[in-house]
Amino acid sequence: MQIQQIPTPALLVDLDAMESNLRSMADFFADKPAKLRPHFKNHKAPLLAWKQLRMGAIGMTCATIREAEILVQHGVDNILIANEITGEEKADRFAQLSRYASILVGVDSATSVRELACAQRKHGTRLQILIDIDTGLGRCGVQPGQAAVDLARRAAEAGLTVRGLTGYEGHLQPLPPGPERDEKVRLVCRNLIETASRLESIGIAADIISTGGTGTYAVCGRYPGVTEIQAGSYLLMDTQYVERGATFQRSLTLLASVISTRGSNHAVIDCGMKELSAERGLSAVKGLPGTRLKALHAEHGLLELDAGLSRPLEVGQKIELWVHYSDATVNLHSSLYGVRNGKVEEVFPIVH
Amino acid sequence: MQIQQIPTPALLVDLDAMESNLRSMADFFADKPAKLRPHFKNHKAPLLAWKQLRMGAIGMTCATIREAEILVQHGVDNILIANEITGEEKADRFAQLSRYASILVGVDSATSVRELACAQRKHGTRLQILIDIDTGLGRCGVQPGQAAVDLARRAAEAGLTVRGLTGYEGHLQPLPPGPERDEKVRLVCRNLIETASRLESIGIAADIISTGGTGTYAVCGRYPGVTEIQAGSYLLMDTQYVERGATFQRSLTLLASVISTRGSNHAVIDCGMKELSAERGLSAVKGLPGTRLKALHAEHGLLELDAGLSRPLEVGQKIELWVHYSDATVNLHSSLYGVRNGKVEEVFPIVH
């Protein structure tokens, strides 16, 4: 099928760009003690997870119990939920998954310790956790140092298997690349490693130190003692991450059709915020200089064209927009069309 | 099931509020010549469409060919796609649907006329259209008056059945209610009616004049000659529409669990922009004074609590957030839990 034949709106990935990203990241980790555990939340496509695993990733990271279930059902057997879960129902689901996979979950509260310990007893399985560290992002996680040690001891005493630490420095991803950001990233890593050694001093073998994203993997991935990196955006890349200086190739676009035009400087496409997230900014139009996305309504995108463009848009014409924020856009689709040389080569199901 | 037992994050509708909205709107139309054709895009739940139809709605409005297909598959036989579609593939799908339902689509270009006429010949079905009028919203649609007459004539000559006009005054919905807005709404209606009479003067019986939304239905619904109103938001109501002065009851909330806390003024919930749209603003927290949603990440919501609250949030606690923009939030879910007196009474599947 030609790209022009894909029913719109549709999410496309440029296979050349994606494969280049896949190889670059695999090459980086080829000679490092740290390994890659890519984040599933960025693409939610089991076939892409398998591409990553076959290129050397040790397992997958995910954000929710539902994503972990999808991964287990699709044969992935090494999973980190780099996030907290709460409540008996989710602890039960986690315990069930532990029968099929080596699965870890982040923990930052005594409540979670209690709930998971209860599920462990109830299901007769061995549950493994990582203590979630607040790296300065100010979201979830306990502080590095004593607070983490106290929680790890409590978890161990409750019978849970503490495997180490997880901490995501999301607040450092948007900083401009350079020595200043690198130093901040190294401080995060140092805090994690020091906390891990304090865990070891109380008899908890912290053999997993999981951190890092697409903006910071090169620093975290070289830091002695860090064992795995959670980068995910590198594979599909959105323009947001390109603007942050990440060196991978953007590959993700939204194919839309022009459904209405007025004069030569106004056109409307069949793609709104139900197909393309504008939560972090509006997308740029690919390959059409002088053409801008002016607004995104629920079901429509409004395009503005510079005066005097030699080729105004026509009803029925298909255009591509660069995806600005991949996480929230992939989430709106159930298929990702893999394209090369103007043709569809593969379709990757996105599973919810 | 108690509300507290629903796995989070989950979308809830307060059945008392929703039923009150359903009745109020039905009461309004009971003695009017104009009828209600509610918009499906706001809830995407066939069971709710059937509630609306059983309360007197003459059919459903929708925004896409996909939504029309869902409606036809769920037994709805009177449908308006109040939007443009383009391309042979979508014209074919529209022609197929016309075998199962009385279905109309908005048209604003010669290209669409040509494509639909071609599909009509190919499929041997009779295709019905409405000329889409730009009411001043500046999105799709031709101008009222001569441009509409010219397009209607072209469509009729191409063999399509022109049933009348559609035009949505989306730009007037957010205006403060009052005589000034009402006058603008009446001007929209007047333009539609005048254009319809010009169509009749060239032998096109414009028996459908479709317009109006939740903010403007009371004016449009009383305007002589307007035959149907496309209001949709009235049923579930979001806080955005409440802020605009609509008199229906907000019914839609997002149930989330607290997964992490720090001190007494910071908490994180398991609901981010993948479950709750922030495209038009952040949601308010229901029933917890002094507690605010500070930020919405992809997978997390960050809450800020006033100092000195008597009851800080606890891990595992469930809270509700008012949905601020229902269209883009419903789109993120596959179930809507109907609740009354703290219990789940029904679950409405949301179909995509």
Distances (CA, A) of B341 to B14, B286, B344: 9, 16, 8
Q: Which contacts qualify for B218-223: CB closer than 8 Å, 24 or more apart?
A: B218/B28, B219/B182, B219/B185, B219/B186, B219/B189, B220/B34, B220/B185, B220/B188, B220/B189, B221/B28, B221/B29, B221/B32, B221/B34, B222/B32, B222/B34, B223/B34, B223/B186, B223/B189, B223/B190, B223/B193
Six token digits for residue B194: 């005048």
Chain B residues lying within 8 Å of A230, measured CB to CB:
none
Min CA distance, A84 vs chain B (Å)?
6
Nearest to B315 among A86, A89, A261 (CB): A86
Q: What is the mean pLDDT of residues B314-331?
A: 98
First to last CA, chain A: 26
* Predicted local confidence at residue A175, as pLDDT: 93
Min CA distance, A86 vs chain B (Å)?
6
Interchain proximity A87–B274, CB inside 8 Å? no
As a whole number of angstroms, the distance between CA A71 and CA B205 comes to 57
Quickly state the pLDDT bin for B16 (edges 50, 70, 90).
Answer: very high
* Residues lower than pLDDT 50 in chain A: none
Instruction: Please give the residue of chain B at the shortest CA–CA distance from A263.
Output: B142
Contact A31, A56 (CB under 8 A): no
Interchain proximity A109–B140, CB inside 8 Å? no
Min CA distance, B281 vs chain A (Å)?
10
Interchain proximity A84–B139, CB inside 8 Å? no
Six token digits for residue A75: 């044969």
Contact A237, A252 (CB under 8 A): yes
Quickly state the pLDDT bin for B178 (edges 50, 70, 90).
Answer: very high
Domain A3-10+247-349 and domain A15-236 have a common topology: no
As a whole number of angstroms, the distance between CA A252 and CA A259 comes to 22
Min CA distance, B144 vs chain A (Å)?
14
Residues B72-98: tens digit of each pLDDT: 999 999 999 999 999 999 999 999 999
Min CA distance, B159 vs chain A (Å)?
20
As a whole number of angstroms, the distance between CA A285 and CA A290 comes to 9
Interchain proximity A274–B316, CB inside 8 Å? no
As a whole number of angstroms, the distance between CA A61 and CA A230 comes to 6
Nearest to B279 among A87, A111, A279 (CB): A279
Distances (CA, A) of B41 to B71, B72, B283, B350: 11, 14, 20, 11
How many CB contacts within 8 angstroms connect chain A with chain B?
132
pLDDT of B309 above 90:
no
Cβ contacts of B283 within 8 Å, gap of 6 or more: B239, B254, B276, B293, B321, B322, B323, B324
Is cis: bond before B33, omega within 30 of 0? Answer: no
Please list, residue by residue across A186-225, b when 16 or more beta carbons sit within 10 angstroms of its beta carbon and e when fewer do.
eebbebbbebbebbeeeebebebbbbbbbbbbbbbbebee
Instruction: Please give the residue of chain B at the shortest CA–CA distance from A314.
Output: B111
Torsion of CA B25, B27, B32, B37, to 10 degrees: 30
Hey, how many other C-beta atoms are within 10 angstroms of the C-beta on B146? 11
Residue type, B125: T
Nearest to B328 among A85, A86, A273 (CB): A273
Instruction: Please give the residue of chain A at the shortest CA–CA distance from B89.
Output: A7
Helices A88-97 & A110-123 angle (0-180, nearest 10):
50
Instruction: Please give the residue of chain B at the shortest CA–CA distance from A133.
Output: B260
Distances (CA, A) of B327 to A274, B42, B331, B333: 8, 5, 6, 11
Nearest to B83 among A89, A138, A299 (CB): A299
Interchain proximity A86–B41, CB inside 8 Å? no
Interchain proximity B63–A298, CB inside 8 Å? yes
Contact B63, B330 (CB under 8 A): no
First to last CA, chain B: 26
Q: What angle do CA B265, B270, B272 make, to 5 degrees?
A: 95
Chain B residues lying within 8 Å of A141, measured CB to CB:
260
Six token digits for residue A56: 């050397």
Contact A165, A116 (CB under 8 A): no
Interchain proximity A84–B259, CB inside 8 Å? yes
* Predicted local confidence at residue A333, as pLDDT: 98
**Domain ranges across chain B:** 3-10+247-349, 15-236
* Predicted local confidence at residue A246, as pLDDT: 79
* Predicted local confidence at residue A243, as pLDDT: 85
Interchain proximity A139–B260, CB inside 8 Å? yes
| DSSP bridge partners of B321 | B254, B285
Residues B208-230: tens digit of each pLDDT: 999 999 999 999 999 999 999 99
Element (H, E) at A234: none
Please tell me the CATH superfamily of domain B3-10+247-349, with its number.
D-serine dehydratase-like domain (2.40.37.20)
Residue with tokens 């103007």: A342
Mutate to test the interface with A, among B112, B274, B327 (most CBs of A within 10 A): B274
Give Cα B204 distance to the centre of its chain.
29
Min CA distance, B71 vs chain A (Å)?
17
Residues B233-283: tens digit of each pLDDT: 999 999 999 888 878 999 999 999 999 999 999 999 999 999 999 999 999
As a whole number of angstroms, the distance between CA A70 and CA A50 comes to 13
Hey, how many other C-beta atoms are within 10 angstroms of the C-beta on A23? 11
| DSSP bridge partners of B340 | B343
As a whole number of angstroms, the distance between CA A279 and CA A269 comes to 19
The answer to whether domain A15-236 has CATH 3.40.50.1360 is: no
Six token digits for residue A192: 């994690």
The burial of B150, by beta-carbon neighbours within 10 Å (0-12 exposed, 13-18 middle, 19 or more buried), is given as middle
Interchain proximity A90–B7, CB inside 8 Å? yes
As a whole number of angstroms, the distance between CA B111 and CA A60 comes to 48
Please list, residue by residue across B297-327, b when 16 or more beta carbons sit within 10 angstroms of its beta carbon and e when fewer do.
bbbbbbbebeeeeeebbebbbbbbbbbbbbb
Min CA distance, B85 vs chain A (Å)?
6
Q: Residue A306 in 3-state DSSP? A: coil
As a whole number of angstroms, the distance between CA A190 and CA A179 comes to 16
Residues B130-176: tens digit of each pLDDT: 999 999 999 999 999 999 999 999 999 999 999 999 999 999 999 99
* Predicted local confidence at residue A169, as pLDDT: 96
DSSP annotation of A207 reads: -
Min CA distance, A30 vs chain B (Å)?
30
Task: Mark residue B133 as left, alpha or beta (left: phi above 0; alpha: psi -120 to 50; beta: remaining).
Answer: beta
Contact B321, B285 (CB under 8 A): yes
Nearest to B273 among A90, A268, A279 (CB): A279
* Predicted local confidence at residue A311, as pLDDT: 84
Interchain proximity A299–B260, CB inside 8 Å? no
Interchain proximity A274–B84, CB inside 8 Å? no
Chain A residues lying within 8 Å of B274, measured CB to CB:
327-328, 331
Interchain proximity B140–A302, CB inside 8 Å? no
Mean pLDDT of chain B: 97
Chain A residues lying within 8 Å of B112, measured CB to CB:
315
Q: Kind of pairing, strands B35-36 and B228-229?
A: parallel
